[in-house]
Amino acid sequence: MDEQWLWWFIGAMVLGAIELFTLDLLFVMLAGGAIAGGVAAWLGAPWWLSVIIALAVSAALIGLLRPFLLQSLRTKGEGAPLTNTAALVGRDAWALDEVTVMAGRVKLNGEVWTARTEDGAPPVREGSRARVVRIDGAIAVVAREEEN
């Protein structure tokens, strides 16, 4: 069977295609084992040795590399950039109207947001700078910047 290596590479491509639909990094590890088995067959190893090599490489990839890759994909590192509304917290905003506990509007990140202050916090005067404390739904909760 001169072309058994070809079947290994076809199997690796099929496993790679399955990985595109599952995205759990299992089938790509099996594809890596199939590639290793194909390389062994291409170098002239008997079929049983190619199978052992494919199984050993697949097991090593699943046991050693996959957990590390899954952890790095699923956890946000400390240096990961903030996105969406989390990126707006701590930014400066400009009061377009007086912002009170009940209502107000601010210009934040180039957009006009409905805003309010925290309960018991002093109002933000129109035209002054405020700091975003948090985003509550579609409302920016702001605090007055202390004037120096």
pLDDT tens digits along 112-126 = 999 999 888 889 999
Q: Please report the domains of the chain, with CATH numbers, ordered by start residue.
A: 4-74 (no CATH), 84-144 (2.40.50.140)
Q: How far apart are CA 125 and CA 68, in angstroms?
A: 51
% of the chain surpassing 90 pLDDT:
62
Residues paired with residue 113 on neighbouring β-strands, in sequence order: 106
pLDDT tens digits along 64-94 = 999 988 887 776 555 666 667 777 888 899 9
Report pTM: 0.52
Return the pLDDT at 29.
Answer: 95
User: What region, left, alpha or beta, does residue 9 occupy, with left being phi > 0 and alpha being psi -120 to 50 degrees?
Assistant: alpha
Question: Could you tell me which of 135, 44, 34 has the C-alpha nearest to residue 93?
Answer: 135
